[in-house]
Structure 1
Amino acid sequence: MSSSVKNFPAWAFFSLLSNGILLFAVILLIGKQQGFTAFFGAVVSSTPQPTNIQTQQVVAVPQGKRYKFNYKKWVNILKQEAEVAAEKKPRDLTILVGDSLSLWFPAELLPDNKTWLNQGISGEKTAGLLKRLNLFDRTTPETIFVMIGINDLIAGVNDETILQNQQQTMAYLRKKHPKAKIVVQSILPHQGEEATWEAKEKLVAIPNSRIRNLNQQLQTIAAKEDVKYLNLYPLFADKQGNLRSNFTTDGLHLNPNGYLVWSSALQLTMNSEQ
């Protein structure tokens, strides 16, 4: 046996194995829904098509109107929606927490048989999220999905600060929602030079290798905080490690293809916890 094989860490082997299983399972699930075409080609319409998903939502304000709000008003709206969820106590409450990637998740593509509360804010960073986690303290979620970090990188926040804020977020959610499944999701790659996002130069300045390194550290922290880590990165990366072109609108944000893959991963994660 070569020395390189001997030195290959066990955690890396099991990480690759679990990622491969997740990737295969997502392909199978999407194949069942879309005839194996959505993952391998851009065949989903740019406008989400009607589906038979009966997703109950607590959301009171249409997502499109939120973009006109300033940050303070946005937080107030999320607080009101969380209060409704706390009072009504809907069954199978599942919360999305994060930035615009979570905010723009099409309701019709979310896994069904759940009541979804979307607590995403466009442009959100780890520090801002940490300060507003108390908005849904009184809710009783079954699962909380967290994705945050890309806006920190765009803004020039250092890795240490990002990870510290992430760890505090995990610890807070674990303390306030001891019965909930806390799922921290990896930071997604961007498209690099192929991106068309208005601040493309800021994306290009962030190597996707840095994001992968952050995700590895995030996985370690999640294990210490006793929360589940969902590595979405390999599902969205091409051979160069960049965001797949058929999953994005501008090199940073996702199109329906991307959300379909993400939705399938969420569904598999929730099924595995049952």
Structure 2
Amino acid sequence: MNYPKLNEYRMLNQHAKKGQILFVGSSLMEGFPIYEMQLTLNFGLDRVIYNRGIGGTTTSDLLQSMDACIFELEPSKLFINIGSNDIAAAGNDGYSKDALLKNYNDILDQIKERLPQCEVFVMAYYPINAQADFGIDQAEKTAMFATRTNANILEANAAIEQLAKQHSFSFINVNEGLTDKDGNLKPEFTVEGIHLWPNAYTVILNNLRKYL
């Protein structure tokens, strides 16, 4: 867990409006430049969008930081993208879909209990590209994509979609336009096959706007 970032969010929350729109998750959410985009694009929104993503976060980490990342803000809409680091076998125990789903279920249970009026959107995981050459050492690349594969991501997406339905939350897949004909994340959208450039978030935001 990135404790300096968590402490920063606790301080920022003291100045944030309640009842706004909230993005939460790991680095793939932290890197979403929604602040800049909401300033320059005509959203027509009457609410502010806050981002409380933290790089490196797993579902276990979020379970320990939900007050600072979610509940202190009392959002009216919540967009959550968490678990990609679980799929990447973060930690010593490797990747377990069952463990991911158990933690995700606990997260959604707490949200439903503490924010009963909040509109919750469980976001599909983004695809990856393990094929293109991004100048990464082969050993590092092998480790990066050992379990973070598009097959595992698709399987996890199907599972969290069912989980969202069980909680009467919305599951949304905003990945249209991100992939090539083989289902890989387009090389021009990604730093190293996982993390996204702003042009990718522009595509995602266009897909996401109807839910805002």
State the AA in 1 paired with 2:86: D
State the AA in 1 paired with 2:37: L
Q: Which residue in the other structure is 2:99 paired with?
A: 161
State the AA in 2 paired with 1:142: S
Work out whether 1:96 is the aligned partner of 2:31.
no
Q: Which residue in the other structure is 1:18 paired with?
A: none
1:109 to 34, 37, 53: 37
- Name which of structure 1's ranges 218-227 and 254-263 shifts more when overlaid on structure 2: 254-263
Whole-angstrom CA distance in 1 between matches of 2:97 and 2:190: 25
Q: How does 1:1-274 map to 2 (within 5 A)?
A: 71-85=2-16, 88-89=17-18, 93-106=20-33, 107-110=35-38, 112=43, 113=45, 114-135=47-68, 136-154=70-88, 155=90, 156-194=94-132, 196=134, 199-206=140-147, 207-270=149-212
Q: Which stretches of structure 1, 4 residues or longer, exceed 6 Å deviation after superposition?
A: none
Whole-angstrom CA distance in 1 between matches of 2:162 and 2:20: 27
Q: Is the 8 A contact 1:82 1:117 kept in 2?
A: no
Decide which structure has greater helix share.
Answer: 1
> What's the Cα RMSD here?
2.0
What TM-score do you get using the length of structure 2 for normalisation?
A: 0.84
Deviation at 1:140, TM superposition (A): 2.8
Structure 1, unaligned stretches of length 5 or more? 1-69
Residue aligned with 2:73, SS: coil
Deviation at 1:234, TM superposition (A): 4.5
Q: Which residue in the other structure is 1:52 paired with?
A: none
Identity of aligned residues (%): 27
Whole-angstrom CA distance in 1 between matches of 2:56 and 2:74: 26
Q: Is the 8 A contact 1:102 1:120 kept in 2?
A: yes
Q: Is the 8 A contact 2:26 2:58 kept in 1?
A: yes
Structure 2, unaligned stretches of length 5 or more? none
- Name which of structure 1's ranges 150-159 and 122-131 shifts more when overlaid on structure 2: 150-159
What TM-score do you get using the length of structure 1 for normalisation?
A: 0.66
